[in-house]
Amino acid sequence: MTNFDHQYQQILKNIMENGYAEKNERTGHVCKSLPGQTMQFDLSEGFPILTLRKIPLKLFVAEQVWFLTGKKDLSFLQQFTRIWDDFAEDDNTIASAYGFRWRKHFGRDQVGMLMELLKKDPTSRHGVVLMWDPADDGLGGKAKKNVPCPYTFTVQIIGGKLCLHLIIRSNDMMLGNPHDVAGFALLAYIFAEKLGVPVGILTVSISNAHIYDIHFDQANEIISREILHPEIKFKCPKNAFNRAERGDTELVQEIFRQLKDQYSPQESLGRMKIVL
């Protein structure tokens, strides 16, 4: 499997050269977009983190630990990042928080049941977890500040290894994608450690991969950069799943330190504004 930087650069190049330039009515920005983009990584060969530019490592680590707590209140996450604050309701919660939907929203603990299913039957193909609520999200449903972009994932053990397939309905390739890939790679490692199996293939399928007009220059800079073929290895801490459920802040720091010690990104592109 080719590394993250190579696949990422190729998708950006394809979008900038062949993407459909259309004005998005909700944001008022022009996007260049392509449908049906896919990235795939063999996690046993390394951890997929973008090094063509610097990304904040602690952000995606803290997010995944927060997700696994099953909470929608932002207090835990705000110890590490304020990235979700713009989407918060007046009570400091995220109405469509991924972890809350994984663990409580649909009347059952999807992630807990996923772990039980794969322990009992490692050959099961029923390991589907949803973040999207068809009774409430999209299609003229209840207005809210945020609806899930990654909306479902499946987990299967194939060839003795844990494989995770993430599906994203809409992906900002300059800001969202690097964090989504790294975050769900980390989730796969945590699940694999819990189940006592090695990590396998992470597949990320994107229904609408896009770049906003305000990021075109920075996208072209990324496309022009030489790929240095970095290698980042990761060993999941023991009992990471159980520690994440408890909201263990030291787990965030432990994972962050391990990745930071190996992370050598290229020059920053400067601050990039999030399009809300």
Q: State the catalytic residue, choosing from 31, 149, 163, 236.
A: 149
Sole residue written with tokens 């995770």:
164
SS (H, E, C) 80-139: CCCCCHHHCCCCCECCCCHHHHHHHHCCCCHHHHHHHHHHHCCCCCCCEEECCCCCCCCC
**Long-range Cβ contact pairs of 26-32 (< 8 A, separation 24 or more):** 27/212, 27/275, 27/276, 29/212, 29/213, 29/214, 29/275, 30/212, 30/213, 31/210, 31/211, 31/212, 31/213, 32/210, 32/211, 32/216
**Known catalytic residue: 149?**
yes
Active-site residue numbers? 149
